[in-house]
């Protein structure tokens, strides 16, 4: 008889995972990107070069660069942030992480304790919400419009917390290609956020992981770049531009905070080979690679919108994407996307139900997030058609000639 671990599990180990059985045929979830756009040959050449010229440095934790990560890559990030986001930072203010999720975990470990409160967009990255839940942090959602988080409502939320004698630990925002809504916050609103943060004396945590994927190739200055008080913490990633499985993200913070974050990164350093390869590949290739990537993603976004229009018609509402790899879709209120999620998955279609991507999940069960970064255009068309069939069978939506709409 096998040893029984169940009675020994900690409170954080009670959730069970199921063995991975492969992706469904129509996979509209996750931050996966288009496979043909991964620069395989160029990365292969970079691997061969850095292994031969620098491979012996792998004998040391941190190579020759210390615990913050490979210095040539940090220098590239500084140059890239200056050019693309107007952020001026030094390499010692950059920490390389195992994806942006580790950057988020480190910020939370440094700043948050159980019972604290943070403010964030009311529709938000599910990974952010689950991490705050795990810490026991209360989060207050601020509604969005087509320009992102509304500053009048942020001001109201801050005022109400102040009246209750509570001070948020930070405002978390995804201002550029907001996840899941896809909105882009204009500069004027970013400056308003900084004014409010100063008035209430709180920091801002800016998640800019999708900022390189605006289809126009243009983006507003990062909030970090507009900050004169060193109150903004910033994270980014190469997962959405180069390859998610490389797991290379980065955190940018003033040294007064970075010095407290570093002791919490206890993994002996993120993967060094990945950092060395990117440091070799990126300087001469990143801009051209992103330039080539953007029209591929835009074509997929257009295909998704056309498929929704064809198969769902007036039953769906959405803002056409201006970048990124996902679309936030609103369905009639009788559609429960938690139920649709399971019914669709049974038919080989994976979606993100709105309840998992919003602070008030019960009020957003008629919404869903559809990711278009990975599936081909043909797969998008077929998957949306099948999703429409499942939705009709479950909810009578989209309305079809002769059907009786049901709840």
Domains of the chain (ranges plus CATH)? 22-38+287-395 (3.90.1150.10), 40-285 (3.40.640.10)
Kindly list the averaged pLDDT for each block of 10 residues, start to end, along the chain of length 407: 90 86 95 95 97 94 94 98 97 96 97 98 97 96 98 98 97 98 98 98 97 96 97 97 96 97 95 97 97 98 98 97 98 98 98 98 97 98 98 92 42
Q: Are strands 367-371 and 326-330 parallel, antiparallel or unpaired?
A: antiparallel
201: Cα within 13 Å, side-chain hemisphere: 3
Q: Is the Cβ–Cβ distance between 321 and 301 less than 8 Å?
A: yes
- Number of Cβ atoms within 10 Å of the Cβ of 211: 25
C-alpha 222, offset from chain centre: 16
Q: Which pLDDT belongs to residue 141?
A: 98
For residue 336, give the nearest of 310, 378, 300, 367 by alpha carbon.
367
Phi, psi of 397, rounded to the nearest 5 degrees: -125, 130
* Sequence-ordered list of residues with C-beta below 8 angstroms from that of 137, at least 6 positions apart, any chain: 108, 112, 114, 115, 116, 117, 118, 169
Whole-angstrom distance, CA of residue 121 vs CA of residue 395: 29
Q: Which pLDDT belongs to residue 404?
A: 40
Q: Which pLDDT belongs to residue 401?
A: 55
| Consecutive H or E run containing 54 | helix 40-54
Read off the pTM: 0.95
As a whole number of angstroms, the longest Cα–Cα distance in the chain is 71
Whole-angstrom distance, CA of residue 290 vs CA of residue 176: 16
**Torsion angle, alpha carbons of 357, 360, 361, 365, to 10:** -100
Q: Which pLDDT belongs to residue 169?
A: 98
Whole-angstrom distance, CA of residue 398 vs CA of residue 80: 45
Give the 3-state secondary structure of 90-152.
CHHHEEEECHHHHHHHHHHHHHCCCCCEEEEECECCHHHHHHHHHHCCEEEEECEECCEECHH
């Amino acid at each position: 008889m096998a040893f029984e671990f169940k009675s020994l599990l900690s409170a954080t180990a009670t959730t069970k995972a199921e063995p991975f059985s492969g992706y469904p045929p129509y996979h509209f979830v996750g931050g996966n990107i288009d496979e043909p756009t991964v620069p395989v040959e160029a990365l292969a050449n970079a691997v061969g070069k850095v292994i031969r010229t620098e491979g012996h440095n792998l004998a040391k934790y941190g190579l020759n660069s210390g615990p913050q990560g490979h210095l040539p890559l940090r220098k590239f990030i500084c140059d890239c942030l200056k050019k693309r986001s107007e952020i001026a930072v030094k390499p010692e203010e950059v920490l390389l992480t195992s994806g942006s999720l580790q950057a988020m975990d480190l910020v939370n470990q440094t700043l948050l304790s159980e019972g604290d409160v943070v403010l964030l967009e009311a529709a938000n990255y599910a990974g952010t919400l689950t991490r705050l839940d795990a810490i026991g942090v209360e989060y207050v959602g601020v509604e969005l419009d087509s320009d992102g988080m509304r500053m009048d409502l942020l001001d109201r939320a801050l005022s109400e917390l102040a009246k209750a004698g509570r001070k948020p630990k930070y405002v978390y925002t995804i201002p550029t290609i907001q996840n899941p809504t896809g909105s882009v916050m204009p500069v004027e609103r970013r400056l308003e956020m900084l004014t409010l943060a100063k008035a209430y004396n709180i920091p801002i945590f800016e998640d800019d992981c999708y900022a390189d994927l605006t289809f126009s190739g243009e983006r507003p200055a990062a909030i970090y770049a507009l900050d004169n008080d060193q109150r903004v913490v910033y994270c980014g990633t190469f997962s959405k531009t180069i390859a998610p499985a490389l797991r290379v993200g980065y955190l940018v913070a003033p040294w007064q905070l970075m010095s407290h974050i570093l002791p919490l990164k206890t993994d002996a350093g993120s993967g060094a080979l990945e950092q060395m390869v990117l440091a070799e590949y990126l300087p001469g290739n990143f801009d051209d690679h992103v330039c080539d990537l953007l029209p591929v993603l835009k074509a997929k976004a257009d295909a998704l919108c056309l498929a929704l229009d064809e198969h769902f018609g007036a039953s769906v509402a959405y803002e056409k994407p201006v970048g990124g790899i996902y679309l936030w879709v609103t369905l009639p209120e009788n559609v429960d996307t938690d139920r649709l999620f399971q019914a669709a998955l049974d038919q080989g279609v994976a979606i993100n139900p709105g309840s998992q991507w919003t602070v008030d999940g019960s009020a957003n069960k008629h919404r869903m997030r559809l990711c278009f970064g990975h599936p081909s255009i043909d797969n998008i068309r077929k998957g949306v058609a099948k999703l429409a069939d499942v939705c009709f069978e479950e909810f009578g939506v989209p309305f079809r000639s002769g059907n009786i709409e049901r709840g």
